[in-house]
Amino acid sequence: MAQTQDDTVIRVESVSKTFQTAGSDKVGALDNISLDIRHGEFVTVVGPSGCGKSTLIKLIAGLVGLSAGRIICQDQEVRGLNTKVGYVPQESKLFPWLTVEENVAFGLDSKGYAKSERDQRVQHFIQLAGLSGFEKRYPSQLSGGMAKRASIVRALAYDPSVILMDEPFGPLDAQTRMILQDELLKIWEQKRQTIIFVTHDLVEAVALADRVVVMTHRPGKIRDVIPVPMSRPRNIFEIHRQEGFDEAHARLWNIFRHELNLKNGNSAAVEK
């Protein structure tokens, strides 16, 4: 039970996951994954689609049971639902029948926060998301970007030890995406909550992360973990010019080029 009292928040130990398909076949989604996430760390997970990166997130959240290995979250093995994590799904998934305010307060109310602290936190996080004045609006009255920000602060508001984000910016257009990445980093720099962020976008993976976990095609394995030595705070809009970006991105791309089985000749064209 008791892990060494270092600053590891999440420890994934030799975790595998196989899914039973309609027939009697088993499909391997994850194969022997081990990973430590430190407190306050921003980790991104990249890989081709179908590599099981979303499955990894769902295992940590306890939404899906694992087939082998174990996951330890804050010195406790994850069995069943892991209510220590906040979860930001691909689509915003705000509860459409609750106002912005009630959505952000949902976790606080569920965990029985006192009224005064609840109101204060709600106010604070709504402001942080730039949604002041929209407290009483319903999600259907928000733009995609606003809904996304509300969805993120809903997960942050009740202070879970880890935030899991499953390609949250996937369906957005490039501009909105960049703005939200910038806002996410600004919020994160204030809160320094531990974030595990799944994406298929290599630039996004490098721009946000302290470390990038690279996964291979199904069954997903961890191919490499690349540290991103860029300083913070980062400027998302000029991320290419920041020192350390090119190096980390090149390393990442090299791995992917391998994965995609591209010949050197072709890859040059693709790269630039």
Partner 1 sequence: MSNEAQSPSTNKPARPAWQRTLKIHAIRFVIVGGFFLLWEVASGRWIEAFLISSPSKIWRAFLTVYQSGELTTNTWVTFQEIGIGFPIGAITGIWTGYMFGRSKALADIFEPIIIALYGVPRTALAPLFIVWLGIGIWSKVGVVFILVFFLNFFNTYAGMKQLDQEFVDLARLMGANRWRLSFRVILPAVSPYIITGFKTSIPFSVIGAITGEFIAATEGLGYYIRAAAGVFRTADVFVGIAVLMIIVILMNKVADLIERRVLRWQTQTESVQVQG
Give the nearer residue to partner 1 in terms of CB position, either 81 or 250. 81
Residue 264 Cβ vs partner 1, minimum distance, rounded to whole Å: 42
Identify the residue among 38, 69, 138, 176 touching partner 1 (CB under 8 A).
138
Kindly indicate which of the ranges 137-145, 182-190, 202-210, 238-246 contains the residues binding partner 1, using the contact rule CB under 8 A. Answer: 137-145
Give the nearer residue to partner 1 in terms of CB position, either 21 or 143. 143
Site membership for partner 1, residue 266 (CB under 8 A): no
Calpha distance 5→153 (Å, rounded): 29
Q: What is the DSSP pairing of strand 162-166 with strand 194-199?
A: parallel
Site membership for partner 1, residue 150 (CB under 8 A): no
Binding string, residues 195-234; x marks residues near partner 1 by CB under 8 A: ----------------------------------------
Give the nearer residue to partner 1 in terms of CB position, either 112 or 265. 112
Binding string, residues 64-103; x marks residues near partner 1 by CB under 8 A: -----------------xxx-xxx-x-x-x-xxxx-----
Give the nearer residue to partner 1 in terms of CB position, either 67 or 83. 83
Size of the chain, expressed as the number of residues it contains: 272
Contact 68, 14 (CB under 8 A): yes
**What are the residues whose beta carbons fall under 8 Å from the beta carbon of 127, sequence distance 6 or more?**
none
Cα–Cα distances (Å) from 198 to 45, 52, 171, 204, 261, in that order, read 5, 10, 13, 10, 23
Positive or negative torsion for Cα 173, 174, 179, 181: positive
Site membership for partner 1, residue 140 (CB under 8 A): yes
Identify the residue among 9, 31, 72, 107 touching partner 1 (CB under 8 A).
107
Q: Where would I find the H helices in 37-99?
A: 53-61
Give the nearer residue to partner 1 in terms of CB position, either 52 or 139. 139
Contact 17, 64 (CB under 8 A): yes
Site membership for partner 1, residue 117 (CB under 8 A): no
Give the nearer residue to partner 1 in terms of CB position, either 82 or 216. 82
Give the nearer residue to partner 1 in terms of CB position, either 28 or 89. 89
Site membership for partner 1, residue 111 (CB under 8 A): yes
For residue 233, give both structure tokens.
């705070």
Residue 181 Cβ vs partner 1, minimum distance, rounded to whole Å: 22
Positive or negative torsion for Cα 262, 52, 220, 77: positive
For residue 179, give both structure tokens.
């703005």
Dihedral-angle region of residue 112 (phi above 0 means left; psi in -120 to 50 means alpha; beta otherwise): left
Distance, first Cα to last Cα, the chain: 49
Judged by the rule CB under 8 A, the positions of this chain that interact with partner 1 are 61, 63, 81-83, 85-87, 89, 91, 93, 95-98, 106-107, 109-111, 133, 138-141, 154, 158
